[in-house]
Amino acid sequence: MSAPVDAVTGAFSYTGRYIARRLLEDGRRVRTLTNHSHRPGADDLEEKIEVEPLQFQDRKRLAAALRGADVLYNTYWIRFPHSGLDFDRAVANTRTLMQAAADAGVRKVVHISVSNPSVDSPLPYYAGKARAEDVVRESGLAHAIVRPTLVFGPGDILINNIAWLLRNVPVFAIPGLGRYKLQPVAAEDVAEIAVWASQQPDSVTVDAAGLCLRAGNAVILRGGAESVHSDRALVTAIHAGLRAAGLPAAAVSLLEQRDYQAIQDLVGRRGLIDLVIPRGGEALIDFVTEHARVPVLKHEKGVTHIFVDRDADVEMAVRIIVNAKTNRPSTCNALEKALVDAEIAPWLLPPLVRELRAAGVEVRGDPETRRFVPDVIPATEADWEAEYLDLILAVRVVPGIDGALQHIRAHSTGLADGIVTQDADRAERFVREVDSAAVLVNASTRLVDGGEFGRGAEIGISTSRLHARGPMGLEELTTTKWIVRGTGQVRT
């Protein structure tokens, strides 16, 4: 079973090599599209990644090279016109690349741009970068655009650029008045941000606003501290759309105060606020629940489980667990605990641990797990309560379905739990006795999602019991209104 694969244009180039290394650390396979397979400083990657030519003139071949990739990290650009290649051609090449990515079924594009691009810039480099961003936005693909400022690191690209200028231009000027507020960013940090961006929902802000408006609700949004500027820009765009549609812009508001006192004031407004949906860390959810004077629908952390029954198909169980853990480990529906029936443990655990490790997963196990795979990291009691949101999985051997149910009752947060088995009676018992928002039989926990359930965008996965549980889409944001039309009926 192979690890998930991502594509990086120019993985031997400066920024691309750091993204490739970061992905390899996560246990991902990396395929690069490049015409420069040997670059100084990237020798360590040559034996570790797949190499395909970057052929913009052949869209079908480009799509074939991208086929099977989950995310495309696009670092393609030119620093200076050369060999008949100018910025207009670079924009056209970016368009071909996006079309090929769509043809290949790439899930998401993370596009590396530059700070402050503008189509109005007198500098062709910045104007071209802005036009390339527009191409990404118009592609119809889910995407994130990363705009680093001055990138530095070993083998400094800034020094490389200055050296190129000195070799080619005897005198050069730095535009402007020299009053730059420039925050350099390390190449490793650009890679970290790019990989993080690939794992984020397309736009929780836009999804939440759109769902609430479609359901006939006004909404007050409060994002995380890390997204305050993005949220402000998104809400400004939403306001413009509302005005253009003849709707009140005030239907979508953004709470920009960062302190918890503002949250406490908001959730105490009975008569003005009908429902609060806290999405975030455990501390935020606990704070809202404690201080709210209005109904709360909680989206709690996902301490999720898959129990492998003694009558499970071993190959199926391994495939499901590896997918549930590695598909997108930073999401709440990613698998955190695997429970293994003692009867099947000798046959399941060795191949399971082998495949998990091949995918870059750190496996922690109880003493029984370590009896079958001795070099597994010992699990502690804290592991059974932890939501890792990372490539870490805790494994426990249990005495059959009774032991699994007991463990899940003690440790599950009620978001999603599943069983792998060929025994219909035990499957039905598991479904009946596990009190979670979603219970799965022979399927990955990663399927617990509004889109996967055919319900479209979701505002969260509710772990509350009133009034909605599981993925909350449009229908769950409405309530009931009874309309009675009579011809004079009275109650006797």
> What is the homologous superfamily of the domain 5-198 according to CATH?
NAD(P)-binding Rossmann-like Domain (3.40.50.720)
The one-letter amino acid at 458 = E
| Other Cβ atoms within 10 Å of 475 Cβ, number | 10
For the packed helices 14-25 and 187-198, what is the interaxial angle rounded to 10 degrees? 60
Q: Which residue has the tokens 């802005």?
A: 130
Name the band, by pLDDT with cuts 50, 70 and 90, for residue 202: low
User: Which whole number is the average pLDDT over 224-231?
Assistant: 80
Distance, in Å, from the CA atom of 367 to the CA atom of 406, rounded to the nearest integer, reads: 18
Interval 289-300 mean pLDDT? 91
The residue-averaged pLDDT of 134-142 equals 90
pLDDT of residue 221: 92
pLDDT tens column, 45-85: 878 899 999 999 999 999 999 988 999 999 999 988 988 89
273: DSSP letter: B
Smallest CA-to-CA distance from 28 within 68, 64, 74 is with 68
- Quick one: pLDDT at residue 115? 83
CA 110/CA 126 separation, integer angstroms: 19
**Residue 13, both tokens:** 């180039």
In this prediction, residue 174 has a pLDDT band, given cuts at 50, 70 and 90, of low
Encode pLDDT of 326-379 as tens digits.
Answer: 887 888 999 999 999 999 999 999 999 999 998 889 999 999 999 999 999 999
Tell which residue, 455, 453, 454, 401, has the closest CA to residue 431. 401
**How far apart are alpha carbons 267 and 290 in whole angstroms?**
10
Cis (ω within 30 of 0) for the bond into 239? no
Is residue 77 within 8 A of residue 10, CB to CB? The reply is no
> Quick one: how far is CA 180 from the chain centroid?
34
Q: Where are the extended beta strands (E) located within 198-261?
A: 219-221, 252-254
CA distance 27 to 5: 9
Q: What was the pLDDT predicted at 269?
A: 92
Listed residue (246, 222, 195) closest to 4, CA to CA: 195
pTM given for the model? 0.68
CATH class of 305-455+459-472: alpha beta
Residue at token pair 């190499």: 51
- More confident position, 182 or 377: 377
Report domain extents, the chain.
5-198, 204-291, 305-455+459-472
Rounded mean pLDDT, 96-119: 91
Residues 180 and 277: their CA atoms lie apart, in Å, by: 41
